[in-house]
Amino acid sequence: MADTPTLPPPLDPREKPILESLMRVRDELTLLKTDRTTYVKSSDVIPLYDRVVDQVKLLNEIRVDKPQETNQVDRILDGCFQLLSLFFMTIGRNNEAPAAYALSSTIKRLLDHLTEVDLYSAKDLVHISSTLENLRAIVKNAEDKYSPKLITLLSNRIEVCQGLLSNLQNRLNRLGGDLPKIYEKLISILRSISLANTRSKFSTSEVQQLQSQAKEIDAQRVDGRFMSASGEVPPGNQEVCELLNKCLSWSAIVLERKGEMPESFRDIYQVLVGIRNKLEKLSLTQAWSLRETDLYDYQRQLDKIDESRVDGNFVDAEGNFAELYVQRTLLYLIRRSYAYIYYLMVSSEPVSEALLPVYNQLQTLRRCLIEVKNSGGVSSPRELYPYSMKLNSIDNMRVDGKFMVGDDIPEGQGSVNDLLAECFELSYDLRVAAETENDSGES
């Protein structure tokens, strides 16, 4: 989270050394995050995590009679846990409780935004529901390994997210007949218009095509209402009609404005477009270029901008509220960026960054071998020679069955070894199939 002057300093003098200690830990985590000369190890992260937990214990003792108090200590503590959580992903310990902290924060942000705008699809909710189930299992399995305070905090966060998710699911259940399909299509059109609106080069034809799709849906209405096959008005008709009208009006506004942002909001717009574009690029090259802790800086920027809104509205330097076009455009960029962060966290592999180069090579080999198998296999075992050479070279990197980096055994050995074994099995099956084919042909 971004540091902000809105939270007061601690009133209790006993909290001051805790604040100073947490700030030192946060500075050390920040330095570790920016150091690209070596990979991050568990031995770098765990001592810092232990120091934060020690400070949490002290803080809880001081606040035993005032558990609801919130000040700068809480803000710095959140930053420490956020960074530590991303570090746990970086070292490949994704399935341990601390790693759930950052992901639960991002899910809460996403659900808050979906609730605020009331524009979301069933697909959005299905994926988030599955992720929450995974987090719940991770936290439950960690009850004997981590601080009870951390477990309670994470459990409460997950249940808050579950409550928001259930409300959103109930709101979608109001739609009857064929309306869910129409609703999903309209959500897709609306998002596509917003994407076109924020491209570096505005395309009038693209938005006009999307507008035409909305008009085709509009043509399905009878006297302004959607009708079922039996001639009845299905439940949720009014909501879907409102969404359709929003699509039509938004397309008209976007075609009129052509991506031009007023001068007073141009700076924040450029910042948000820059964040969105960088996160989009990361989502395409994640396996080779992402260190999960990189997401922290994007989160901080987004949180700061998101929290700067007044009653949900963006305000310029002179205190003027943003008009509808500006408001919707900026909110779209914020929400899209949070969605990318969520995707990048969920896609993070439980493998230390030290092993990622090997893991990524094996992922590529696996995809190639599956593609060869699906396209009919090989005509001769010799065709598998390049794959076998690469697999053997990776296998020879192991020492006593482990991938070592110096004297260190990085996290994620099981995942890498399982993938290596799967590649060997695929290669073996292809070779046997080729030999059998050749033998039957000779006979």
C-alpha atoms less than 13 angstroms from C-alpha of 172 in its C-beta half-sphere: 21
Closest CA to 299 of 29, 53, 40, 103: 103
227 Rama class: left (phi>0) / alpha (psi -120 to 50) / beta: beta
The confidence score (pLDDT) of residue 437 equals 79
The confidence score (pLDDT) of residue 442 equals 59
Residue 414 DSSP SS3? helix
Residues 6+ apart with CB under 8 A from 344: 279, 282, 283, 286, 290, 292, 295
Q: Residue ranges per domain, the chain?
A: 179-257, 268-347, 356-442
Place of tokens 């909001």: 265
Paired tokens of 411 = 């996290």
Q: Are 188 and 121 in contact (CB under 8 A)?
A: yes
Say what angle helices 356-374 and 413-442 make with each other, to 10 degrees: 30
The confidence score (pLDDT) of residue 8 equals 86
C-alpha atoms less than 13 angstroms from C-alpha of 320 in its C-beta half-sphere: 9
Q: Are 9 and 73 in contact (CB under 8 A)?
A: no
- Residue 181 sits at φ, ψ, to 5 deg, of -65, -45
- Opening angle at CA 141, ends 137 and 146, nearest 5: 125
C-alpha atoms less than 13 angstroms from C-alpha of 291 in its C-beta half-sphere: 19
**If residue 398 lies in a helix (H) or strand (E), which one and from where to where?**
strand 398-399
Instruction: For residue 9, give Cα distances in angstroms to 54, 293, 311.
Output: 20, 27, 25
Place of tokens 């948000």: 272
pLDDT tens digits in sequence order for the chain, 443 residues long: 333 446 788 888 999 999 999 999 999 999 999 998 888 999 999 999 999 999 999 998 898 887 777 889 999 999 999 999 999 999 999 999 999 999 999 999 999 999 998 889 898 999 999 999 999 999 999 988 898 888 988 999 999 999 999 999 998 888 898 899 999 999 999 999 999 999 999 999 999 999 999 999 999 998 888 988 788 888 999 999 999 999 999 999 999 999 999 999 999 999 999 999 999 999 988 767 788 999 999 999 999 999 999 999 999 999 999 999 999 999 999 999 999 999 999 999 899 999 999 999 999 999 999 999 999 999 889 999 999 999 999 999 999 999 998 888 999 999 999 999 999 999 999 999 988 877 765 55
Alpha helices in 198-236 (DSSP H): 204-218
- Residue 69 sits at φ, ψ, to 5 deg, of -65, 140
Closest CA to 83 of 341, 378, 293, 380: 293
Q: What is the pTM of this model?
A: 0.89
The confidence score (pLDDT) of residue 327 equals 96
The confidence score (pLDDT) of residue 441 equals 58
The confidence score (pLDDT) of residue 1 equals 34
Tell me which DSSP letter residue 199 carries.
S
The confidence score (pLDDT) of residue 7 equals 78
Amino acid type, 58? L
Residues 6+ apart with CB under 8 A from 85: 98, 99, 100, 101, 102, 103
